[in-house]
Amino acid sequence: MNKKQPGGKNQAITPTQSQQSTVYEQPHTLSIHLPTPGNLPAWPFQKIGQWRIDVNKSVEAWRHGMRIWRKEHLTRIGYDDAQYKRKELLWSQSNYVHVQMMVEDRYFYNPITGKYTIDKYLDDLKQRYGGIDSVLLWYIYPNIGIDDRNQIDLAHDLPGGIEGLKQVVSDFQSRGVRVFLPTMPWDNGTRDIGCPDWKAITDLAAEVKADGINGDTYFSVPHSFRTASDETGHPVVLQSETWPLADDALAWNNQTWGKASTSTIPAVSKLKWLEPRHLTNVENRWARDRTDDFHYIFFNGHGYNAWENVWGIWNQFTARDGETLRHIASIFRRFSTLLVSPTWEPYTTTVQQGVFASKFPTDHATLWTIVNRNEFDLEGEQLVVKNDDDLIYYDVWRGATLKPRIKGDEAIISVSLEAKGYGAVLAVKRGSESKDLPDFLEHMRELAKTPLQSLSHVWKSMSQEIVAITPTQKVRETPTGMVIIPAGDFVFDVGGIEVEGFMWEGVDFQYPWEHSPRRTHHHHMSIPAFYMDRYPVTNKDYLKFMETSGYQPTDDHNFLRDWVGGKPQPGWENKPVTWVSIEDARAYAAWAGKRLPHEWEWQYAAQGTDGRLFPWGNNWDAEAVPTPNRSRKSLPPADVDAHTTGASPFGVMDLVANVWQWTDEFLDDHTRAAALRGGCSYQPQTSHWYFPQAYQLDQHGKYLLMAPSKDRAGMLGFRCAVDSVI
């Protein structure tokens, strides 16, 4: 530990006025109180000059106390390490780079060819930051709740169904990447699965041969999942999400993922201290500079959740962060057996201010990981270790052999550290070097030729494009079933109701007049006259289209799912057609000589020019909309003409709270999404994570698009527009 350090929060080594070194625990970090140096009074160092405190004299006492605490604490929780000895689960201990992947990512699935593109997805990550060790296939949130499909249903609705998912898992595994499936304890408002969650997801994991299960929002994945998984004959790794992990659950949750310490002095991971074989994949989904995260994982020997597609919002690594992760992962993968050392030593002795190191010793070799928390480069002496003339030292961050300065029984090691940079030192017995070590050092030497600080750390949001809507032939007379929407000036004022993303750039949509995606939008515009369907397209309308055109989508999973024998159910003729993708809606519109409306046209037709919140005015009118359905099962939509008081100023009907309606599609390099308008009558309960409603006319939903099989929904329909010569 360095002799002069800045202070930190109680998540790490923190100076106080105490003259006795004491220990205590936080949910996921370990801290100490340190005495002030010598007999000097505490106050000038505590309040003003925390950087002057000499912690080297006290850190060994802290480690001694923490070893005693660890032994006692493991006894108190009755800890059994059997799950960390199981051969089929050992891979979790070196699962360093994990990624939560949205199945809607266009690098993973090509909607044009209808094919999964696992190689494209993995090749991109390999090129940008060295690749991944595992992937969490995320196919549930944020779209779940638009109808009554539950989390298991949505797995079945992936392109190719369960057989397609099985092939995806196999394709990842053939590239050396392990696969996790998600489970959500909060999904109790959609269709009842019919069995306990732990049986449903472990059966699915066994069927598709997945490697792990991620417990979304679980403090710990319950032991019932461990039992159920083992009973399938295909045991998987359990990965809990939230911190703090219940301590006793450490015994069967081989992995976690959660947040890093951001204090100047990096904190010690409590879970790593209790069980060195337990790996946490740190995530910081909204971070634009991941330096704190990387310092924390390098200091603790933890992994990273390289999450960039966050619910369809692209928060990419900067070039500097990508190369940093490549360096860290290269070292961790090569020396994984050292990083699980039962005698790892955080805060090993360092020389310079703001430099911190951890020691991972084994009988055959020792690895030191070093982080420079300073904003400037540091050259020269960094580590002080016990001298052993039989050891050879290597700078494995830069790929060089080291020659320490010997001082008595100490070896003082010099390495160069970039500002906010990293270092790693390896010590091995002479003659015991592995045959591949020279090749690895050459690899690191090549990486080190490009200083991390020379790479860009500038973050930019990813630009979106709106998918063009081809104008129709302009007509003069009002088409049957439509109403004229006169030309006028309109203030298009709307915001996205996504659950997450705050007001960050990159959230929601980017309209043609904007420079980047953002959550709120305000734009004055002149809208030419056009015609709008008075009512949403009905089942009767769509049946005529089917019978006349012979339309049949290539991907027909869930297509018109609520029809029977190729026709609407009796009495459903006048209900809005649902279970149609945006492609199915466009096909109908083209057949009818119409098009889907732009979102601003939909809002103008619903709102008029006075900025009202609902088609009928500014106050909610329960009589103007269907009765909300809060049961676990979707009910049929209301007839389109059932609520006559819901008309807009222009006479457009059934705009709000019956079925969602398709409008514009937006895309960037990684994600497609549609602006949905109007909300629906289905309101699943038990969680705020379900797809939120957008009943107000200044709100829209962002619905992620993957493939028609998954995009079609039981509470999602559409209406059409036609251009006017008026």
Render pLDDT for 378-426 as a digit per residue (tens, 0 to 9).
999 999 999 999 999 999 999 999 999 999 999 999 999 999 999 999 9
DSSP letters for 339-397: HT-TT-EET--B-STTEEEEEEE-SSEEEEEEEE-SSS-B-SEEEEEE--TTEEEEETT
What whole-number distance in Å separates Cα of residue 11 and Cα of residue 213?
29
Q: Report the candidate in 655, 665, 670, 648 with the shortest Cα–Cα distance to residue 703.
A: 665
What whole-number distance in Å separates Cα of residue 345 and Cα of residue 253?
23
Q: Which residue has the tokens 């494009």?
A: 465
What whole-number distance in Å separates Cα of residue 351 and Cα of residue 334?
27
CB neighbours of 449 closer than 8 A, spacing ≥ 6? none
Q: What ranges make up the beta strands (E) of 157-274?
A: 178-183, 212-215, 237-240, 255-258, 268-269
According to the model, what pLDDT value does residue 39 have? 35
pLDDT, tens digit, 9 for 90 and up, residues 322-350: 999 999 999 999 999 999 999 999 999 99
pLDDT of 11 strictly over 60:
no
What whole-number distance in Å separates Cα of residue 433 and Cα of residue 497?
58
Looking at domain 465-723, which CATH architecture does it have?
Alpha-Beta Complex (3.90)
Structure tokens at 372: 């420079």
Alpha helices in 525-577 (DSSP H): 539-549
Say which amino acid occupies 724. S
Q: Is 166 exposed, middle or buried (0-12, 13-18, 19+ CB in 10 A)?
A: middle
**Secondary structure of 6-69 in the HEC alphabet?**
CCCCCCCEEECCCCCCEEEECCCEEEEEECCCCCCCCHHHHHCCHHHECCHHHHHHHHHHHHHH
pLDDT, tens digit, 9 for 90 and up, residues 147-161: 999 999 999 999 999
Q: Report the candidate in 696, 701, 706, 217 with the shortest Cα–Cα distance to residue 498.
A: 701
What whole-number distance in Å separates Cα of residue 332 and Cα of residue 97?
10
- Residue 167 Cα distances to 9, 44, 120, 170, 174, angstroms: 47, 64, 16, 5, 10
Question: For residue 265, what pLDDT band results from cuts at 50, 70 and 90?
Answer: confident
Pairing relationship of beta strands 303-305 and 13-15 according to DSSP bridges: unpaired
According to the model, what pLDDT value does residue 289 have? 95
What whole-number distance in Å separates Cα of residue 323 and Cα of residue 320?
5
pLDDT, tens digit, 9 for 90 and up, residues 418-476: 999 999 999 999 988 889 999 999 999 999 999 999 999 999 999 999 999 999 999 99
What whole-number distance in Å separates Cα of residue 516 and Cα of residue 509?
8
Question: For residue 577, what pLDDT band results from cuts at 50, 70 and 90?
Answer: very high
What whole-number distance in Å separates Cα of residue 301 and Cα of residue 332?
8
Say which amino acid occupies 576. P
Sign of the Cα torsion 192, 193, 195, 196 reads negative
Number of Cβ atoms within 10 Å of the Cβ of 191? 18
According to the model, what pLDDT value does residue 618 have? 98
Mean pLDDT of the chain: 92
Structure tokens at 62: 């802290």
Structure tokens at 716: 């999602």
Percent of the chain predicted with pLDDT > 90? 87
Q: Which residue has the tokens 């006795």?
A: 20
Pairing relationship of beta strands 97-102 and 303-305 according to DSSP bridges: parallel
According to the model, what pLDDT value does residue 259 have? 85
Question: For residue 55, what pLDDT band results from cuts at 50, 70 and 90?
Answer: low
